[in-house]
Chains A and B, each alone.
Chain A
Amino acid sequence: GAVVSQHPSRVICKSGTSVKIECRSLDFQATTMFWYRQFPKKSLMLMATSNEGSKATYEQGVEKDKFLINHASLTLSTLTVTSAHPEDSSFYICSAGDGQGEQYFGPGTRLTVT
């Protein structure tokens, strides 16, 4: 089946720094990628939808200037958490749509901001 990877799988950063998370579709072209955030013991919250070559569409309440999303190619989307704070610590999961109605999830990235 199709594979979506995320890098890094875990990252610890200091408060005030920025962190970039990559999401790659390894064996298919992803016309649409989604970024989710999962709080401890909580469900997944859709943060934004990104289409290759265009600006991401953010969900209500998600700060687009804080969570920068770039979908520069059909196989890569990046999420940059700018000026990270401890409350940004979370599990971030991306998913990629193959344009055929299927969506595949990445393994997630655990972000810890100290």
Chain B
Amino acid sequence: AQSVTQPDIHITVSEGASLELRCNYSYGATPYLFWYVQSPGQGLQLLLKYFSGDTLVQGIKGFEAEFKRSQSSFNLRKPSVHWSDAAEYFCAVGAGGYQKVTFGTGTKLQVIP
């Protein structure tokens, strides 16, 4: 069965600092990988996704993620964090396209001035 691990429950960074959120997945075949962001009380917004091709994926709001098959990882990065980036971030893996998407437990990002 597919699974996702986000080892960091809570991360605090200073505004303007770089950010990396970790995500490790378990899946038998080539995974479909996603990063979503959720603001308090809100639904999910897709930041980026990887289906195939270039392993470095660019997303919205200046985020990017790199798929590393050898490490079973899909870490999310941003070079300079803004206060508005404070939210909860979910990594997810799918069996095929958007079918059977399994979410990680999320990483809550706090941004301090």
Contacts and interface: CB of A to CB of B under 8 A. Distances in A.
B31 to A, nearest CB: 15
Interface string B9-39: 0000000000000000000000000001000
Query: What 8 A-B pairs come out closest when comparing CB atoms?
Result: A103-B98, A107-B43, A105-B44, A43-B103, A105-B43, A44-B103, A43-B105, A108-B43
Majority secondary structure, A binding face: strand
Interface residues of B, number: 19
A93 B43 contact: yes
Interface in B36-87: 36, 41-46, 51
A61 interface: no
Interface residues of A, number: 21
B98 A43 contact: no
Contact of A110 (B36, B41, B101, B105): B41
28 contacts: A4-B43, A6-B43, A42-B105, A42-B106, A43-B104, A43-B106, A44-B90, A44-B103, A45-B103, A46-B100, A46-B101, A46-B102, A93-B44, A95-B44, A95-B98, A97-B98, A101-B98, A102-B98, A103-B46, A103-B101, A104-B46, A105-B36, A105-B45, A105-B46, A106-B43, A107-B43, A108-B42, A108-B43
